[in-house]
Amino acid sequence: MRKDFSSFDEDIALTDLTLATLGWQPFFMSQLEIEELETLTPTRIATVHRDRVVGLSTDGPLELTLDPGLTTGAVAVGDWALAAPEQHRLVRLLERKTELSRGTEYHSGERQLIAANLDTLFITTSCNNDFNVARLERYLALAHDALITPVILITKADQADDPDHYRDQARSLGRDLDVLTINAKSDEVAGHLQPWCGVGQTVALAGSSGVGKTTLANALTGGHALTQDIREDDARGRHTTTGRSLHQIPTGGWLIDTPGMRGLGVAEVAFGIDATFPEISELADQCKFRDCGHETEPGCAVQAAIKRGDIDADRLKRFKKLKRENQHATETIAEARDRYRKLGKMYKSAQSRKKR
């Protein structure tokens, strides 16, 4: 169903893009050399295909192939890049302000790049059996690790007897954590999310299947899916391979589609886990032993806080579980990288033997 946005002028889309509306910030500008400024065009990556990408510039969409040394696997939707538009080439990828990635399932030793330069991650759950604080903490760790602002959206408030009960539980998961209980199907929902979707701001939705992500994405974009606009221009009818894309939000922001963000493993997010459990990680410095496991060790500041009632014992359990999982996955990744390096060395020495 199409939502009615009175503030939205359909003709603005894609033709009147400025760097500011695309989300350009001093952080990106500061990476440019003077000659690049004169010769290359800053471009925000909207879709990533197997052999090329589509970027948005102030001149509209650009189809770009990659310069040697760059592969599309290293490019994420939301990335800023420098393009040579006449040659249809992507010349250089700029450093990311934030990078959302996840450990793949079964800890295969890989991290999967999901989106670049997000400002806000809408962590979505609903007022029913999907609601699970451990899962929310997992998403929070991921967002905090990437320095992306997390906002918890609890949908289906219209179907719950006591939505505040869910909201209070979610609020207890962080300091200054924004938590909204919403009806994703209501006409007001885009207005409620507007504070995070202003000019140049980039958001994404994460959460389990069925919690209302598609409903929210439609409400936010008013059904104006940007990729569709690009596809219509593409006479050869080629389509995206990652399934991710950048969609314009009428209030000035951008939504990155993130299919595959339903389940997630944590890996290499020790910082994010500490940031998700500040009341525990801050106290850990005061434990007698530096490697304190916060169990039965003498002089454990965390256990003392639990006895005083300052820390929730269940939070500690979940903190430890997430840490263990993260450590295991991080080690698996390190081992896989090590194997890869060794393989690379073997290959190189085999090559040089051949040449001799």
Ligand X SMILES: Nc1nc2c(ncn2[C@@H]2O[C@H](COP(=O)(O)OP(=O)(O)OP(=O)(O)O)[C@@H](O)[C@H]2O)c(=O)[nH]1
- Known binding-site positions for GTP: 155-158, 207-215
- By the rule CB under 6 A, 221 interacts with ligand X: no
Ranges within 61-100 binding ligand X (CB under 6 A): none
d(CA 135, CA 318): 10
Least separation in angstroms between residue 309's CB and Zn ion is 17
Indicate which single residue of 15, 209, 296, 352 sits in contact with ligand X (rule: CB under 6 A): 209
Which runs of consecutive H residues, i.e. helices, occur in the chain? 19-22, 26-29, 34-39, 133-145, 163-171, 189-193, 213-221, 226-233, 270-276, 278-284, 301-308, 313-355
Contact 105, 111 (CB under 8 A): no
Least separation in angstroms between residue 293's CB and Zn ion is 7
Least separation in angstroms between residue 268's CB and Zn ion is 23
Least separation in angstroms between residue 166's CB and ligand X is 12
- Strands 120-126 and 149-155 turn out to be parallel
d(CA 35, CA 43): 16
- Strands 41-48 and 60-66 turn out to be unpaired
The item of Zn ion, ligand X, none sharing an interface with residue 83, based on CB under 5 to 8 Å by kind, is none
The one-letter amino acid at 26? P
Indicate which single residue of 65, 108, 214, 281 sits in contact with ligand X (rule: CB under 6 A): 214
- By the rule CB under 5 A, 300 interacts with Zn ion: yes
d(CA 36, CA 126): 47
The item of ligand X, Zn ion, none sharing an interface with residue 190, based on CB under 5 to 8 Å by kind, is none
- By the rule CB under 5 A, 305 interacts with Zn ion: no
* x/- letters, 185..204, toward ligand X (CB under 6 A): x-------------------
Q: Which is nearer to Zn ion, 127 or 302 (CB)?
A: 302
- By the rule CB under 6 A, 155 interacts with ligand X: yes
User: Quick one: which H or E segment has residue 42?
Assistant: strand 41-48
Q: Tell me if residue 258 falls in helix, strand or coil.
A: coil
User: Of 113-121, 167-175, 242-250, 295-303, which segment contacts Zn ion by CB under 5 A?
Assistant: 295-303
